[in-house]
Amino acid sequence: MNIRRGIILTVCLIALYLLLPRVLYAWTGYDYDTGDYIEIDGDVSTIQGKDIDIYDYSDDSYHDVYVMSVNRNGDVIIEVFDYDTGDYRTFEIDMNTDDQQKDREST
């Protein structure tokens, strides 16, 4: 009976993982201006023209930014205006965030 319950739980968890929308994921990007990584919560395909919060690893803080453009030709390039610093910034979003997380932990 316990084996059956374990199998059912495993199948349910796998199904839940596969069915969750991508909105629940955070995307890691590289900031060309600071030379550090940033993190964006949510779906990067729906953020153009919106104010969003990013986490900036260069100063370990959140920034409020306005997304001016999202270019999806090959790599995803996002251009923003950072309200906190008054600067225009460019991010390259890595759709494979595991590699960047490992790289960040090794430095």
Instruction: Name 38's bridge partners.
Output: 29, 56
In terms of Cα–Cα distance, which of 95, 92, 60 is closest to 79? Answer: 92
- Asked if the structure places residue 96 within a domain, the reply is yes
Tell me if 68 is assigned to some domain: yes
User: Helix, strand, coil % (nearest 5) of the chain?
Assistant: 30, 40, 25
Is residue 16 assigned to a domain?
no
Across the chain, mean pLDDT equals: 80
Predicted TM-score of the model (pTM):
0.64
Type of residue at 91: F
In a domain, 6, yes or no: no
Number of domains in the chain: 1
15 within domain boundaries: no
Asked whether residue 38 is domain-assigned, the answer is yes
Q: Which tens digit of pLDDT belongs to each residue from 42-84?
A: 777 778 899 999 999 999 999 999 999 998 877 889 999 999 9
Query: Which pLDDT value is given to residue 56?
Result: 94
Distance, CA of 104 to CA of 107 (rounded, Å): 6
Residue 73 is assigned to a structural domain of this protein = yes
Give the residue numbers spanning the domain of 73. 22-106
Half-sphere exposure of 49 (CA within 13 A, CB side): 1
Q: Please return the burial class of 27, using the count of CB atoms within 10 Å of its CB with bins 0-12, 13-18 and 19+.
A: buried
